[in-house]
Chains A and B, each alone.
Chain A
Amino acid sequence: MTAIESPIPLAQRSATEPTFWLLLRLKLTILRNRLRQLTDQTPLQLLMVIGFLATIWLGLFLIFDQVFRFIRHYEKEAIIALPYVFHLFFFSMTILLGFSTAVLVYGSLFAREEPAFLLTTPSKPRNIVAVMYVEALFYSSWSLILLGIPLMAAIGNVQGLRWHFYATFIGTFLGFVPIPGAIGLVIALFIALYLPRMAKRTLMYASGVILILVIVFWGRLWVISSTDNITRQWVHDLLGELSYLKAPLLPSTWVSKAIGFSIQDNPADAAFYLGMTVLTGLCMSHWAISLVACKLRPAFGRAHSAPTHTRKYTGWASRLLTSTAFFYLSAKMRAVILKDVRHFLRDPVQWSQLAILFGLLSLYLFYLPRSRSDGFSTQWQALICFMNFVAITLILSTFTSRFVFPMVSMEGKQIWLAGLWPLTRSQVMWAKFLYAFTVTAVAALPVTWLSIRAVELAPIIGLAQIGATIACCIGLCGLAIGLGARWPNFKEPTASRISSGLGGTINLIASVALVAVNGTLFALTCLYAMNHRDLRGLELRSGVALGAAILISLAAAAFSMTIGIRKFRHQDF
């Protein structure tokens, strides 16, 4: 074999150091290829994403526009209230951006194979950290752009502001993003260095704690603000709850002030706070990158080190759960379900998301009775019953789309095993359906019961809500399993990527449509039930609407499972 000689001497070649810009160009090439692939192979998905984004932007713009027009009618109150809107918005963004950057950077630097490849090349750790940091800021700031642009457009539209407002808003946004980003980068390093074996769990618990604090905060605010007697003391109490948001050292305060001064047509003061935000972001980023680059190798080594202790999985608890919950099935089908149950219980990503979502809903329901000391009128009962039903079914739709749809595909490269099992293929499909239905029903029914108790619903309407929820569980699980078998992706090992493919997109649309139809029919059920003053009876129209909701859910499940089983039966392994 002959090598090709380079005109550059070896000594000079070995001293060449690949730059940050080379790595950045690599990331841009990957992004370009990804977009090209989307437009060539799945233009429908791309159009849908653009369509959804445009709808969300427009919807948010209209909501913000109405809110600011409403506030504008109360000039004196607006002077007090409007700054709090910005303070609260950017304070929330600080926490959310910091958290999302920590998650993204941890994944990029310590969980994937890419840093292992880059660390064996002549790339300096600082360049590796810097490019991963910039990538994480780019992806995590999308939420800010999604909310920020409609907010900016609405304020500018309502107030009739000049160009420098938009420039200040965008500049402050971009300058603000690295501040929580730098904090997130350091948090990721801390987890890699000191909690390497518990990274996923730590991030999961942290997200749960943050969301619980948010709900507690909103709950207290709601309880304070829910009164018909608005006095000076009431205003004082409410603003007192929010006073910490205006702390002068918070970056969210600087951003709010920059935008506030820009609205008041005071570009000089706006520029001062804009400059402070930008410079702080740059300084914090520089320090964070330097710190992480210095510790990158030991942190990477810790994150990828061999476990110092093993875990012995006895599995008796999962076996007991499965044999109890699925006693009515054959031993072979229970064995298939046991495999999936263990997979679910041993993957904190799955059950913790369900626990967090339903936990938040439970907290909201806990605060609900405390917000009205004189109880709920019939109209309020009906309205809250409907809203709770929609909230529960939307959460179920999210869960089934993310975790149930990929179940068939996740058999992956060992799908041929399913073909060899002593079960018919339809039995395998029904086993997966029954497992998914049981998990979702076990999660949804206690929350449904809690929501019925929270507003003291009459038994008949409570039963109607339970029946509709169970039917929705059947419908959503049937859709997810059936469509998951109809459009499987056995090559992809990651559940989230399977959910975001063509089949996952179709399932998402179908799930949301089912929730929308069920929600509408349940709304009619509640509306007609209000004819009975205390909701103690269901007249014919209510019954028909409820029956239609249940039938549609069952039909969706039956249809999807049929087409899924048919495809699975003829699947080549």
Chain B
Amino acid sequence: MAILIDNVTKCFGRLRAVDGISLNVKRGELFAFLGPNGAGKTTTIKMMTGLLTPDSGSISVCGHPMSTDAQLAKAKIAFVPDQPFLYSKLTAREFMQFVGEMYGIDRRILPERIEHYMGQLAVTNYADQLAEGYSHGMKQRVVLAAALLHEPDVLVVDEPMVGLDPRTARTVKDIFRDWADAGRTVFMSTHTLEVAEAIADRIGIINHGRIVACGTLDELKAKAAREHRLEDIFLELTDPKDPPEMEEAVVPM
């Protein structure tokens, strides 16, 4: 298994953001992770990438448990967050150079690899300008190029299509599909159901911290017992009943 999530729970005070979820994602699979806002998608991803520690359960990436072998597990992962992070005072080239060295890529091939992925994602034209002047779409492309640089076994992406123009969105979908076909794993959370429908091998739907459905598109349709579109299945399974209650403080200002 590329990703193994076993009965993981995460609470923030009284709020159970993730409630005993279990997931496994095979090597060479493109897994789409869907859910409404506040369902627990980002919390799950943060635990997978080592940003948060689960309160219970375990997570393993490529056979390395996050709790004991975090550094080895992270060496296998690349994470592209929904809000792309770049050092504002570095150029795209300098940032990719830094990421390449961070992941131990041989200095003899690093420049060539940087040029390859910059060309792939059309970043070359502004590679030597400071990142503070980039638009959101440009930043997204640079961060994705940097993520692919060390050719990770597991690519985790959170909302990859936000802010991308149609041409870039198509390029990104093709990259994800090719990546999975080459035997690597892509774990993608998205609100764009058409993207999940078009390219995902399996789809998982989370609501109120629990997995409410997981399987191929055909399996989900069978579960819904109707020949519906993914959007209809999603809306049916994530009906907003009984939202979690939180304490409320009243502020007069």
- Give A residues with C-beta under 8 Å from B: 1, 3-4, 6-8, 13-18, 22, 26, 29-30, 33-34, 37, 113-114, 116-117, 119-124, 297-298, 300-301, 304-318, 342, 345-346
Contacts and interface: CB of A to CB of B under 8 A. Distances in A.
Contacts of A13: 75, 103-105, 150
A121 B74 contact: yes
A4 B116 contact: yes
Nearest to B38: A306
B30 to A, nearest CB: 14
Given A1-B178, A308-B12, A14 B106 contact: no
B209 to A, nearest CB: 11
B51 A300 contact: yes
A22 B94 CA distance: 13
A1 B174 contact: yes
B71 A17 contact: yes
Contact of B109 (A4, A304, A308, A313): A4
B23 to A, nearest CB: 19
Interface string B30-54: 0000000000000100000111110
B251 interface: yes
A54 B67 CA distance: 53
Contacts of A34: 89
A309 B103 contact: no
A298 B46 CA distance: 12
B175 A6 contact: no
Interface stretch (B13-21, B161-169, B187-195, B229-237): B13-21
B212 interface: no
Given A6-B106, A17-B104, A309-B13, 19 more contacts: A4-B116, A7-B109, A8-B105, A13-B104, A18-B103, A33-B89, A34-B89, A37-B89, A114-B85, A121-B102, A122-B74, A123-B102, A298-B53, A306-B12, A308-B14, A308-B247, A311-B249, A311-B251, A317-B252
A13 to B, nearest CB: 5
Contact of B83 (A15, A113, A124, A305): A113
A18 B252 contact: no
Given A4-B112, A297-B50, A308-B13, A33 B90 contact: yes
Q: Report the 3 A-B pairs with minimum CB-CB distance, sorted nearest first.
A: A308-B13, A16-B104, A309-B247
A34 B130 CA distance: 10
B248 A310 contact: yes
B220 interface: no
Given A4-B109, A22-B102, A305-B12, A117 B248 contact: no
A16 B75 contact: yes
B184 to A, nearest CB: 9
Contacts of A122: 71-72, 74-75, 102-104
Contacts of A346: 253
B113 A310 contact: no
Most chain-A Cβ atoms within 10 A of its Cβ — which of B89, B99, B109, B182? B89
B102 A3 contact: no
Nearest to B102: A18
Contacts of A22: 98, 101-102
Interface of B: 12-15, 17, 43, 49-53, 71-72, 74-77, 79, 81, 83, 85, 87, 89-91, 94, 98-99, 101-106, 108-109, 112-113, 116, 120, 130, 150-151, 174-175, 178-179, 182, 246-253
B212 to A, nearest CB: 20
Contacts of B91: 33
Nearest to A33: B89
B81 A116 contact: yes
Contacts of B14: 308
Contact of A311 (B53, B182, B248): B248
B158 to A, nearest CB: 11
B113 A308 contact: no
A6 B109 contact: yes
Contacts of B108: 7
Contact of B53 (A8, A16, A301, A315): A301
Residue from A4, A307, A313, A342 whose CB has the most chain B CB atoms within 10 Å: A4
Given A13-B150, A120-B50, A122-B102, A310 B249 contact: yes
Contacts of B77: 120
A315 B72 contact: no
Contact of A14 (B13, B72, B94, B113): B72
Nearest to B156: A120
Contacts of A33: 89-91, 94, 130
Contacts of A37: 89, 130
A317 to B, nearest CB: 4
A568 B214 CA distance: 55
Most buried by B among A8, A122, A313, A342: A122
A491 B215 CA distance: 44
Contacts of A297: 50-53
Nearest to B77: A120
Given A309-B246, A312-B250, A314-B252, A116 B85 contact: yes
B113 A345 contact: no
Nearest to A313: B251
27 contacts: A1-B174, A3-B182, A7-B109, A8-B105, A15-B72, A18-B103, A22-B101, A26-B87, A26-B98, A30-B90, A33-B89, A34-B89, A113-B83, A121-B74, A121-B99, A122-B72, A122-B74, A122-B103, A297-B51, A308-B14, A308-B247, A310-B248, A312-B250, A317-B253, A318-B252, A318-B253, A346-B253
A318 B252 CA distance: 8
A300 B51 CA distance: 8
Contact of B52 (A123, A301, A313): A301
A17 B75 CA distance: 9
A14 B76 contact: yes
